[in-house]
Structure 1
Amino acid sequence: MELKDLYIFMKVVETGNISKAAKELNYVQSNVTARIHKLEEELTTPLFHRHNRGMTLTPEGKTLIQYAEKILSQVTDMKKAFQNADKPTGKLEIGSVETVIKLPFILSTYNKKYQNVDLSLTTGVTEELIDEVLNYRLDGAFITAGNHNVHPDLVQYDVFEEELVLVSDMNPVSLEEIKEKPFLVFSSGCGYRAKLQEWLRDEQVVPSKLMELGTLETILGSVYSGLGVSYVPKSIVEHHHARGLMQYHRLPEQYSKIKTVFIRKKDAFLTSSLEKFIETIGEIRSVQGTTFPFFLRE
């Protein structure tokens, strides 16, 4: 079995059909087809169901994905291991809960110091990002977490801790009245949403409505217009509160304290580019003290 066959297999999985995979790989279609057949012969099992709409994976094909991702990741790690530790090169794929104000600061600081690294950023909610790191699709990610390790197969680095607060428009309202309003939340898998639902459960509150909104700007705008209430970091809304645009309400510490951590896969090779990225986080944090100079949200 050749590594090239696994690369081709993963490209067919990604694109969903032979012709698209061939185009992206700059191969003739017959070559891709032959490689897939060769792989199926070696493994003595079909990897795809062929139909008019394209190709879908068989159960055996889905199993091969897991092995292929690990093998190809290790090959990538092997290549990265020979980088110059002081002048890292290659790709560094980082994930993050969606940025708010100054995440670009840490990225630009790193990029200015290590210009030969091709740094990219993917955003998502915590659960999605954990899965991406565990399956070697991201080198590391910023996520929200409680006071325990998020997964035994991950190494995590504390970045900063924040206080979450309930936010509403400026109309006078009590905490009891807030419980009756629609809650504006990020998608499932968000750490902020999980904390909110923990409080609602313990208070035995069934929300009148839970509305999923995609961005922080949309949520804050909807809170300001009186559509509902939300649960976000206090640091994000303090200036809105100071301007008289919205008010916030504190909850007990067990529901309001949340940490942002940086995670990486424990058994993945620690490349020089990732090591320097982690060092950059530490350097900025040590200079700034306990307040990290950027904020993250989900």
Structure 2
Amino acid sequence: MESQDLRIFKAVAELQSISKAADRLDYVQSNISQRIKNLEDELGAPLFSRNNRGVTLTEEGSRLLDYTDQILGLMEEARSSVNPAKWKTTLAIGAPQTLSAVRIPRLLSSFLQDNRIDIRLKTDRAERLQEMLQYGEVEGIFVNGTFNNVLFTPVYAYDERVVVISSKPDDHSKELPGHHLIINSDPNCVYRRKLLDDYMKKKESINRTVMEFDSLEAILQAVKDGLGISVIPADVAYSRKELQSVQMEELPDPVRVSFIVKQGRKQSRPLKQFIRFLADNGLQPVDSQLAP
């Protein structure tokens, strides 16, 4: 079993596709297929189940992926330890757009001042981020909603304030401006639920239509242009100069943000350093039994 075989196996597992792994690694597809077959023959067990849409890990493949993450992580740590000037260790983490806008860049900037680590930050929807964590594409993710507490465990968390933003009305009407509820198109977005389920249910007399956007920037621009109202993190609302022209209403109930890792997976040295950093910067440890 060679390290490159494990890298090929990991790429196929992450992408759930032999053809996509071949594109990523710049191999011909037949080479990828043969390397996977050789690995399966050597181990005497099937690593993937094939279907029309790609491949999925078998139980044996899932076990090998956990070991693969540990082996490749230790190899990276060894290079960095022997020659830190040439080799930096890498930490890949994920976060949704709303957190990546303000809070996470501030954390990372402070963390990197004292650590020789390359950070790869991936942003996506909550569901996709959890897939990335499950298959080892990232070592930890920030989530501001529910997560699979069978696969993942929270290590640190904090409460995030949220605000309702809307364009300022031109008259003295007490009605909210605009005709739309401006929300993220992700049905699992916690701010979407805050607006639709928590905030608007208290204003039953106001009948509004929903307008969905895929990005935070589009949501902010839509509100600024007077199309309607939305709910966003307070950090984002108060840090944007372009939002000085909108009105804001802070909601009483914050959103719990958790940094979660995969259960049972050995933590790399960079991940341990990052978790210690979070603890030193005011994020409180959480009991996994209390996870949502």
- TM-score normalised to the size of structure 1? 0.69
Q: For 2:91, what is the secondary structure of its paired residue?
A: strand
For residues 15 and 274 of structure 1, the distance between their equivalents in structure 2, rounded to whole angstroms, comes to: 25
Q: For 1:212, what is the secondary structure of its paired residue?
A: strand
For residues 182 and 120 of structure 2, the distance between their equivalents in structure 1, rounded to whole angstroms, comes to: 30
Change (3 A) 1:45 1:248: closer
For residues 90-239 of structure 1, what are the structure 2 equivalents within 5 Å? Answer: 90-98=89-97, 99-101=100-102, 103-115=104-116, 117-145=117-145, 151-152=149-150, 153-159=152-158, 161-171=159-169, 172-174=172-174, 177-178=175-176, 181-186=179-184, 187-199=186-198, 203=202, 208-238=208-238
Tell me the amino acid that sits aligned with residue 264 of structure 1: V
1:76 corresponds, among 72, 78, 93, to 72
2:262 is aligned with 1:272:
no
Q: Which runs of 5+ in 1 are unaligned?
A: 50-54, 287-298
Determine the structure 2 residue equivalent to 1:292: none
Q: For 1:35, what is the secondary structure of its paired residue?
A: helix
Report if the CA contact (8 A) 1:40-1:46 is conserved: no
* Deviation at residue 94 of structure 1 after TM alignment: 1.1
Determine the structure 2 residue equivalent to 1:63: 58
Report if the CA contact (8 A) 2:66-2:265 is conserved: no
Superposed CA RMSD = 4.0
Report if the CA contact (8 A) 2:165-2:246 is conserved: yes
Task: Kindly tell me the number of residue pairs found equivalent between the two proteins.
Answer: 267
For residues 33 and 266 of structure 1, the distance between their equivalents in structure 2, rounded to whole angstroms, comes to: 30
Q: Which runs of 5+ in 2 are unaligned?
A: 284-292
Report if the CA contact (8 A) 1:144-1:261 is conserved: yes
2:266 is aligned with 1:285:
no
- TM-score normalised to the size of structure 2? 0.70
* Deviation at residue 36 of structure 1 after TM alignment: 4.1
* Offset from partner CA, 1:190-224 (integer Å, 9 cap, x none): 22122223316854959632222233332222112
